[in-house]
Amino acid sequence: MTRTEIRWHGRGGQGAVTASVVTAEAAVYQGKYAQAYPEFGAERRGAPVRAYTRVSDEPIHTRSPILYPNVVVVLDPSLNKSLYLEGIKQYGTLIINTKKSLSELKTYIGREDLKIARVNATQIALDILKNPFVNMAMIGALIKVVPIVDITYVEEVIKESFRPKVAEANIEAVRRAYKEVEVS
């Protein structure tokens, strides 16, 4: 069985929960099994948020939080690395929204066993959306680095979830991050 367990880390208002749901819905559209759900602490804008996505070729019966993800997606680079590195499986994948170079990031993370990817999703969001909502760009980076779902299904979900003009901009952010993500 192929199962990918993704833990998203961000802050309230950045769209980690929406990214988790869009990714899961796209996987379902592609004929896979998926689930997505949030975990909130203090529910306020700016507070740390975790969201979870499971994607599998077989039915998923687990309903617990993902404590040992094989993929971690970090929307906010200012989060303490101990938060998002906690429990990540050996040889897992870490995808971070950052301006840092891959070499700077690898030194900062200090885990040789991880596949590390970086994309400047903040800049992409500011260029395209004119605001710092990085979630769609991070989906683009995720599906390029860990091809759990085809980009066409992500675009389909976005078209159904947002008004046409907003959907168009979000799809552009997904596509640009998909092209620009760098992997160690």
Per-residue pLDDT at 42 exceeds 60: no
- Give tens-digit pLDDT for 111-134: 999 999 999 999 999 999 999 999
Q: Bridge partners of 6?
A: 53, 71
Q: Which domains does the chain have, with CATH numbers?
A: 3-183 (3.40.920.10)
16 burial level (CB within 10 Å; 0-12, 13-18, 19+): buried
Q: In the structure, what pLDDT confidence band is assigned to residue 176 with cuts at 50, 70 and 90?
A: very high
pLDDT of residue 16: 94
pLDDT of residue 43: 57
Q: What DSSP state is assigned to residue 51? A: E
Whole-structure pTM value? 0.95
Per-residue pLDDT at 164 exceeds 70: yes
SS3 121: helix
Query: Considering only 46-55, 109-118, 156-165, which range has the smallest mean pLDDT?
Result: 46-55
pLDDT of residue 46: 73
Q: Distances in Å between the alpha carbon of 150 and those of 75, 80, 82, 90?
A: 21, 31, 31, 26
Q: In the structure, what pLDDT confidence band is assigned to residue 72 with cuts at 50, 70 and 90?
A: very high
Per-residue pLDDT at 183 exceeds 60: yes
- Give tens-digit pLDDT for 85-98: 999 999 999 999 99
Per-residue pLDDT at 136 exceeds 60: yes
| Percent of the chain clearing pLDDT 70 (strictly above) | 96
Per-residue pLDDT at 57 exceeds 80: yes
Per-residue pLDDT at 9 exceeds 80: yes
Q: What DSSP state is assigned to residue 130? A: S
Report the alpha-carbon distance of residue 32 to residue 56 in Å, rounded: 6
Q: CA nearest 94: which of 126, 78, 110? A: 110
Average pLDDT (73-93) is 96
Per-residue pLDDT at 1 exceeds 70: no
